[in-house]
Structure 1
Amino acid sequence: MAGSSNGYSPDGKPAIWLCHQTDGFGTRSPDWLSGYERDVLSRFSGPREREYLTSRWLIRQALSHSARLPAHQCRPVDGRPVLSGSPEGWHLSLSHSHGLSACATRAGSPVGVDLEPCTRHPQWQKVARRWFSPVEQEWLFREDDPNTFLKVWTLKEAWLKATGRGIAGNLQTLEVRKDFEIYGDQPEHDWQASCCYIEGYLATLVFRGPRPQWPDITLLEPPPWDFALVDAESMDASWEPLFQRTIRPKR
């Protein structure tokens, strides 16, 4: 089964917006950056600088397409970009890895996204032994599939982003059991997870909603060399759905 990347979701579905990192960067900071973003950007150079600018450019494009506003009117809050500063009411989540950036948007409720290359799983057994629960270790080691480990890892990352926590001390707040039966430490019964392949990456989304559903997924053209806030067009891309699950509260 495969889906096509698409655009604005009028029914309020969660959405994932992606773009590849651009190779260029002009001699000055784009004038659309906030003062806070300029301060952060000044600490970076080279690939890290381009990665940061690409992510900030993508946030504005994602909000522009989601809220149907010009990109120059859109910006995230200062600090960790989990909410939109303008327009208000949108929740955000950001991920970037090996040249691809992703921004998830959701109106009115939390969202978390994690993006990893499908080939990225060095020393996965060591990571699982240190950070995963005994239940997770048992079935993962028996299955012995690094791609399965990566799905569990992205679920945990997306969960922590959606619930507003960092990795340290929190990886076991979500337990993924065999066949991707998922339990979290939040009391609500409306947490959902979706996982798919796109562009050679594994993308996992966690959000709150009444039922599992696939997000709208859009691959946008990369930023121009000077990161001008042009109206980014969507590009052809196909994605392969893997699984949807409701995250149940731990008993």
Structure 2
Amino acid sequence: MGIKIGWIADRIVWKNSFLEYRIKPNEMHIWRINIDDFINQTDFLIRLLNNSEIERANKYFRENDRIRFIVSRGMQRSVLANYLNIPAAELRFALSENKKPYILNTNPDNVRYNISHSGCWILLAISSTEVGCDVEYVDPLLKFNDVIKDHFSTQETEYIGKDNSTKKFFTLWTRKETILKATGEGLGDILRSVPSLNGEHPLPDNISGHNSELMLLSFNLDVDYVASVASFNSNTFPLFIDAGFLNKACY
């Protein structure tokens, strides 16, 4: 048991329409949401938020940050509500001990999700098993040598140092975060022991679910954005969906 890690080398076809909000046992639905696509719908999206979310939105000093929060929470509710077939405003969420979000509502289809943000992008992964995801902007100005020393193995450090180092660093970083989000560990002092290179690896004994099988895929979310998703199903089929089509309707 362990984890299979790979890269989707071919060009991803992002679906621009979607009708069946139903997770099959071997599927993982991977949504990308561009915040800029929904800036003009904040008046609608804020009506989907609960009181604590609205209060949090209003605490942002910069209007751009407030809008980003409203779009992120509103779109999360909008998409997940379709899978659970309940009004978006009625969705209730909670956090695990390690701050992993989960759905409190009655959930007969066992919908699981995870969400990540970077720049103008939101990545939302949905599955019938525990799932993790992470997206990062490939920042060419980031000085990451100290991070590598503390959180990457010798083999990972050698891999990053060969060529195209910045993208390799962010790819491996998303993988480590994704694995820990899928297992529910949260970031901590065990990043160095979490595998991130292509191939099949055992999971450390101190990680929840180390006796299970995970599958992790990395891909380009957009230009200069790299992402990873992981699911507790080694035969998962990923379906890539661009949420842009939703801004043409009230959902």
Q: Normalised by the size of structure 1, how large is the TM-score?
A: 0.75
Can you list the C-alpha shifts for 1:42-100, whole angstroms capped at 9, x where unaligned?
33242222222122122123213434x25536624134562223352321211111111
Q: Give the counterpart letter for 1:176 in structure 2.
A: S
Q: Residue deviations 1:204-232, cap 9 Å, x none?
A: 101101x24442111112886xxx9922x
Give the whole-Å Cα distance in 2 for the aligned partners of 1:9 and 1:73.
20
Distance in 2 (CA, whole Å) between partners of 1:223 and 1:47 is 21
Q: Which residue of 1 aligns with 2:143?
A: 123
Residue 5 (structure 1) aligned with residue 14 (structure 2): yes
Whether the 8 Å contact between 2:92 and 2:103 is mirrored in structure 1 is yes
**Structure 1 gap ranges (5+):** 232-251
1:234 corresponds in structure 2 to none
- Report the identity percentage: 17
Aligned residue pair count: 224
Distance 2:188 2:34 in 1: 29
TM-score norm. by structure 2 comes to: 0.75
What is the rounded CA distance, in whole Å, between the counterparts of 1:33 and 1:90 in structure 2? 20
* 2:70 is the counterpart of 1:53: yes
Write 1 or 2 for the structure with the bigger share of strand: 1
Task: Verify: 1:206 aligned to 2:226, yes or no.
Answer: no
C-alpha spacing 1:190/1:230, structure 2 compared with 1 (3 Å): same
Q: 1:31 to 1:76 in 2, by over 3 A?
A: same
Aligned equivalents of 1:14, 1:140: Cα separation in 2: 29
Distance 1:9 1:119, change over 3 A: farther
> Which whole-Å CA distance do the structure 2 matches of 1:160 and 1:10 have between them?
23
Match of 2:6 in 1: none
Which of 217, 220, 238 does residue 215 from structure 1 map onto?
238
Q: Report the Cα distance in structure 1 between the residues aligned to 2:212 and 2:141, rounded to whole angstroms.
A: 31
Residue 91 of structure 2 corresponds to residue 72 of structure 1:
no
Q: Flag the structure with more relative contact order, 1 or 2, with Cα contacts below 8 A and sequence separation at least 6.
A: 2
User: Which secondary structure state, in structure 2, belongs to the residue aligned with residue 83 of structure 1?
Assistant: strand
Runs of 5+ unmatched residues, structure 2: 1-9
Instruction: Report how far residue 4 of structure 1 moved.
Output: 2.0
Worse overlay, 179-188 or 190-199: 179-188
CA RMSD of aligned residues (A): 3.0
Q: What secondary structure does 1:184 align onto? A: coil
When you count helix as a share of all residues, which structure comes out higher? 2
